[in-house]
Structure formats: C-alpha cells, structure tokens
Chain A
Amino acid sequence: MSDDRTANPALTRRGFLGGIARGLLGVGVAGVGVAAAGRVRAKDDLWQIDPFKCIQCGNCRTACVLEDSAVKCVHDFAMCGYCDLCTGFFHPEPNRLETGAENQLCPAGAIIRRFVEEPYFEYHIDELLCTGCGICVKGCTDYGNGSLYLQVRQDRCLNCNQCAIAAQCPSDAFMRVPADRPYVVKHLGRQKEGG
C-alpha cells in the first residue's frame, strides 16, 4: 500500500514518523516482554489455601465466584486423633455423642461419622453438602488436631486470574501453587512455595 503513496511527500513523512513511533513502541514492548520473560516459571499455577494461615473467617463460603463455593473441607486422616469428642463434628456441649442433628456442628450436615472400631469413629466430608463455611475446621483446629481444613477443590475451581476469595481473605491465606502439587497435605507440613 505504501508504494502508491511514495509520490506524496507528506505521506512519506507521516510514514517516516510512524516508523519511528513503531520502533519506539516496539522497543518498549520488547523490553517489557524480556523483563517479563525473566520472571517466568515453568509450571502453570493454581489457587490454594494455606491451612496454617487460614482463620476460618467464613468468606470462603460466600466470596467465591461460584454460587456453590469451590472451597470445601478436606480431612487429612493421618493427622486425625480420632478424638472421643470430635470437636469438628460435635457441638462443644453435645447432649449425647450421637449423630442427631442437634449435636452436630456442621450446619449443612455434611460430615459423615463412620464407626471404625470401639471407641473410634472416622469423619468423612460429603462434598455435595459441604459449603466451605469452615465451622468444623475451627472446632477441629482449636480443640482437636487440626486434621480438618479448607482447600480449594481443583475439580471445581475455575482458576480465576485473581481469586475472588483471595481478595477478601483477612489472613492472606490464599497462595498460588504449582499445578503438579495442587493440594496442601497438611501432615507433611507447611508448604513453602506460593506468594
């Protein structure tokens, strides 16, 4: 297209200035590109909760972009004390240690109490019912072993560019984890990466 304009000196000047501007912008963009390339990591990343920082504020239930939050409670059984009075499952002052709704802490009835052997019971989460409210987590963390904790369920999470819960988390518990290690296995200890 430029060849049929070469006769017109004004347009050529314009083309010349355009060339300079293009060059400058190109250099600028290339600069940003190179700088960004220097800050790259090989793996894609995902949002996850650091259970050691989470204070179970309740935002995980409400702040997710999904109506039914992508955050659910998980149970790291290797940490569970199989406590006689499971403070994740029961009200602090239960009438009886039974599965009656009036004894249960979980407002959604999402914790399944399974008999293992006398006197131990095992607590499983029904994810279809769990809302990620963290109430059981608080009970278990404050008075039990802290084996119940909240995690972003990666099969549900849409991996928002900025997690809507992270923006509202009061304890800065949301972090980015590499895609090949998408969960925090709590009994293995504090996860180092993220931030």
Chain B
Amino acid sequence: MAVSDWELVRRCKQDDRQAFQELVERYQRKAVAIALGMLHDREDALEVAQEAFTKVFTSISKFKEESSFYTWLYRIIVNLSIDRQRQRSRRSMFERHPSRGDDDDDWVESIPDTHGLDPSDLVAERERGQHIRAAIDELTPAHKAVILLRAVEGLSYEEISQVLQCSRGTVMSRLHYARKKLQKRLGHDL
C-alpha cells in the first residue's frame, strides 16, 4: 500500500529527503499541469513548479495538517504562477517573450500522435489546439485557476476554496463564469 501524504509530510519534517523526493514524484505532473495551464510556457511552468516544491520543503515545518498536502502545494503554485505572469507582463512591455510566439510553434510538436492522420485532420487538430489554448489564455488568472483545479485536478468546491482562499460561493460563481466564457469562445471546437 502506498504511503500516505501525511506520513511523507511527517518524515519531511524530520529532514527525510527520500520522503520529500517521493512527494515530489507523486505530485510533479499535477503541479506542472497547473503551472502550464496558468502560464502556457513550458520553461516557466517547470521553474514555477520546482520553486514551489523548494518552498514546500523549506517551510514544511509550518504546514499544519488541517488541510491536505496537495491543496497547500497547489496554493503555492497558483500564487507563484500569478507572480510569474505579472513579471512577464511587466517584461513584455519592453520585449516580447522569447519562448512564446504568436504562431505558437509549440503546437506543431503538440499534436500527440500524428501517425495515421490525414494532413487536413492534422491542420484541423492544430487549429483546434490553438483555439483551446487561446480560450484558456483569455481567462483571468483567478478564473484560470478555478477551472484548472476543477477540470484538470478534479478538486471539490471546498478544496478549491482552500487553495484560492475564497468562499465556496466565489468558487461557484468563478467556475460558472469560466465555463461560460470557454464555451462561448470555443463553440464548435467543443
């Protein structure tokens, strides 16, 4: 049986690096998924996720087991992502972000398995991917966070309210708005 998060956290508090590594490996994909959803940049997302885990380790003694470990981790990631986005928009006032282009070259390699796909299907798939990504990017950080935590991580309203430190009602209204906006923007792509 897998060791519980709580047990790994307890061992981390005793400076057990192996327990920490286990926590990192358990949550690295989820952590990067949130950061990627928030930032739409692989390098930035990896840096933010790594910074979040480093913060987790250095402040693990302050973590109280009142909430689950992952809501704490996700809160750090969301906050760091928002900070990163602010820095990026300040920077982009002077220069364009080098790893992002309007063409979104990422999507050329983003098509998962191109074998057996018709070239016109490939183009359609690429365009659909661009539309989805653009629709996510148009959301505000608060709306992005709420929809990512619900749709990608599968968190409950209560857990999302813990991550975002807001009321359950705010979670519901933000979620409602984010879904409506995405559906309106995506239309036929859904």
| B and A form one assembly | no
B residues near A (Cβ < 8 Å) are none
A residues near B (Cβ < 8 Å) are none
